[in-house]
C-alpha cells in the first residue's frame, strides 16, 4: 500500500476504478477526509477533475460484526430512489486482494459538514440555520416513513425488540473493547433494561443521526445523509433521542465532551430542542413524551461506541492520532449524562 496514504493501494485501486466506475480518467489522486473515527473515508479525484468518495474499514483486526462495507453500500443504494438524500453509489469491491479490505465508492456531494458551532458561523447566517434545522427533522421523518420491505431492506435486521437487541449488542461490544472498568456502564445497562418502553412500529433507524454526519447545501437544506454503518431496523424514537442529545442550545455547554469544540447548534439560530420535538411529532404523528429514556439509552450507547474508537486508537488501528485521554473522559461524561437522564424518568 502507498506509504503516504495509509489504507489505499493506489495502483490496484486505480485499476479497479478503471474497470468498475464509468467515465473515470486515470491517474487518480487520493486524500483522507478527516472527521470520522470509525470507517475511513477518502476523496478520490481523477485526471479530468471528477471527484468520488471511497469508504473502507479501519486498519487492522476488527470485531467480527463491525464495518461491513457491503451492508453499508446496500443501505445507501436502497435509499437512492427515495426522498431521503444520499450520495449515489457507484461500486462495491469485496475482493481483499485489491486494497486489503472491502470498500465501496459513491458520488461526491457538494456541501458543508456542520460538525462544530464555528463551522456553522463560518458558512451560514442565522436565517439559513433555521432552514437547516427544519430540514434535519424533515429528512428524519422521511427516513422513518420509508417502508423497509418496499426498498429491499426488509431483511436488514429484525424489526421487533430493537432496544433489547441494542442493549445486548452494545453491552457485548463494551465488554470486548473497554480499556478500563467503568461500573456505571453496567449499572446503566441494567436500568435501561428494567425501564424499557414498548416499541411502537418499526422503521429504518440511521443510528448516528446528527448534523456532523450530513452535508448541508448553501440553501441550508440537507444535501446528503452520510455514515450509515450503524443503520438497522427498529424503533424510530432511538434516532430522535440521539438527535436531541446532539442538539445543544446556545446557553448550554457540551456536557458530554467539555474539552471539544461546541456542537453545531450551539451557534444559535436553529430551532430549539422543544421545537424539534414538536416538528417531528407533527410530521410523523408519533408521541415523544417518553423521549428521555431514548436520550439516556443513546448517551450510554455512544459511550460504548466511543470506547471502541478509543480502543482502536490505542491499538494503532486508526489512521492519524488523537488525544486518547480526551476520549476516555468523553466516555465517562457520556455515562454521567445517561445517569442524569435516567434520573429524570
For residue 138, being part of any structural domain is answered with yes
Using 50, 70 and 90 to split pLDDT, how confident is the model at 157?
very high
Exposed (0-12), middle (13-18) or buried (19+): which is 247, by Cβ within 10 Å? buried
Residues 247 and 333 grouped into a single domain = yes
Indicate if the pLDDT at residue 115 is higher than 80. yes
Q: Which three cell numbers stand for residue 32?
A: 483522507
Count, in order, helices (H) and strands (E) of the chain: 11, 9
Using DSSP, state whether 170 is helix, strand or coil. Answer: helix
Higher pLDDT, 199 or 36: 199
- The number of folded domains in the chain is 2
Indicate if the pLDDT at residue 255 is higher than 70. no
Average pLDDT over residues 59-87: 85
Residues 103 and 129 grouped into a single domain = no
CA atoms 278, 241, 209, 127: torsion sign? positive
pLDDT in tens, 270-290: 999 999 999 999 999 999 999
For residue 52, being part of any structural domain is answered with yes
Last residue of a domain, one of 88, 107, 126: 107
pLDDT in tens, 305-323: 999 999 988 988 776 778 8
Indicate if the pLDDT at residue 64 is higher than 70. no
Indicate if the pLDDT at residue 18 is higher than 50. yes
**In Å, how far from its chain's centre is CA 337?**
20
For residue 129, being part of any structural domain is answered with yes
Percent of the chain with pLDDT over 90: 83
What pLDDT, on a 0 to 100 scale, did the predictor assign at position 258? 46
Cα 138 to Cα 121: distance, rounded to the nearest angstrom: 22
Last residue of a domain, one of 81, 107, 133: 107
CB burial of 252-276 (b: ≥16 within 10 Å; e: otherwise) equals eebebbeeeebbbbbbebbbebeeb
Residues 152 and 292 grouped into a single domain = yes
Q: Which three cell numbers stand for residue 272?
A: 430549539
Instruction: Identify the CATH number of the domain in which residue 100 sits.
Output: 3.30.200.20
Question: Residues 231, 136: contact at Cβ < 8 Å?
Answer: no
Cα 232 to Cα 209: distance, rounded to the nearest angstrom: 12
Q: Print the domain residue range for 283.
A: 117-343
For residue 112, being part of any structural domain is answered with no
What pLDDT, on a 0 to 100 scale, did the predictor assign at position 37? 57
Reduce the secondary structure of 69-122 to three states and give it as a string.
HHHHHHHHHHHCCCCCCCCCEEEEECCHHHHCCCEEEEECCCCECCCCHHHHHH
Calculate ∠ Cα 158-215-46, nearest 5°: 105
Last residue of a domain, one of 107, 128, 156: 107
Question: Residues 21, 8: contact at Cβ < 8 Å?
Answer: no
Average pLDDT over residues 135-153: 98
Q: Is the peptide bond before 324 cis (omega within 30 degrees of 0)?
A: no
Average pLDDT over residues 93-121: 96
For residue 262, being part of any structural domain is answered with yes
pLDDT in tens, 42-57: 999 999 999 999 999 9
Amino acid at each position: 500500500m502507498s506509504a503516504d496514504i495509509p489504507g489505499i493501494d493506489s495502483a490496484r485501486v486505480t485499476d479497479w476504478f478503471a474497470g468498475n466506475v464509468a467515465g473515470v480518467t486515470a491517474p487518480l489522486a487520493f486524500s483522507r477526509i478527516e472527521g470520522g473515527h470509525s470507517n475511513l473515508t477518502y476523496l478520490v479525484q481523477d485526471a479530468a477533475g471528477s471527484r468520488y468518495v471511497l469508504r473502507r474499514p479501519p486498519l487492522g483486526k476488527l470485531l467480527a460484526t463491525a464495518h461491513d462495507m457491503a451492508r453499508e453500500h446496500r443501505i445507501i443504494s436502497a435509499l437512492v430512489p427515495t426522498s431521503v438524500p444520499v450520495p449515489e453509489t457507484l461500486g462495491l469491491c469485496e475482493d481483499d486482494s485489491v486494497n486489503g479490505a472491502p470498500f465501496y465508492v459513491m458520488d461526491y456531494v457538494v456541501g458543508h459538514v456542520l460538525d462544530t458551532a464555528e463551522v456553522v458561523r463560518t458558512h451560514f447566517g442565522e436565517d439559513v440555520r433555521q432552514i437547516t434545522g427544519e430540514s434535519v427533522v424533515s429528512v428524519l421523518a422521511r427516513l422513518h416513513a420509508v417502508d423497509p420491505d418496499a426498498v429491499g431492506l426488509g431483511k436488514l435486521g429484525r424489526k421487533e425488540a430493537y432496544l433489547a437487541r441494542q442493549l445486548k449488542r452494545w453491552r457485548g461490544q463494551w465488554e470486548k473493547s473497554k480499556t478500563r472498568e467503568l461500573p456505571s456502564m453496567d449499572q446503566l445497562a441494567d436500568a435501561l433494561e428494567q425501564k424499557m418502553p414498548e416499541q411502537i412500529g418499526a422503521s429504518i433507524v440511521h443510528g448516528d443521526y446528527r448534523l456532523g454526519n450530513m452535508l448541508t447545501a448553501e440553501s441550508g437544506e440537507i444535501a446528503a445523509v452520510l455514515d450509515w454503518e450503524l443503520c438497522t431496523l427498529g424503533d424510530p424514537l432511538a434516532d430522535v433521542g440521539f438527535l436531541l442529545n446532539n442538539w445543544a442550545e446556545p446557553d448550554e455547554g457540551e456536557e458530554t465532551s467539555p474539552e471539544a469544540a461546541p456542537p453545531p447548534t450551539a451557534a444559535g439560530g436553529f430551532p430549539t430542542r422543544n421545537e424539534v420535538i414538536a416538528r417531528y411529532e407533527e410530521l410523523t404523528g408519533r408521541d415523544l413524551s417518553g423521549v428521555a429514556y431514548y436520550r439516556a439509552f443513546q448517551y450510554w450507547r455512544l459511550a460504548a461506541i466511543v470506547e471502541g474508537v478509543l480502543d482502536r486508537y490505542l491499538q494503532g488501528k486508526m489512521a492519524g492520532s488523537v488525544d486518547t485521554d480526551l476520549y476516555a473522559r468523553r466516555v465517562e461524561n457520556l455515562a454521567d449524562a445517561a445517569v442524569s437522564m435516567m434520573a429524570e424518568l
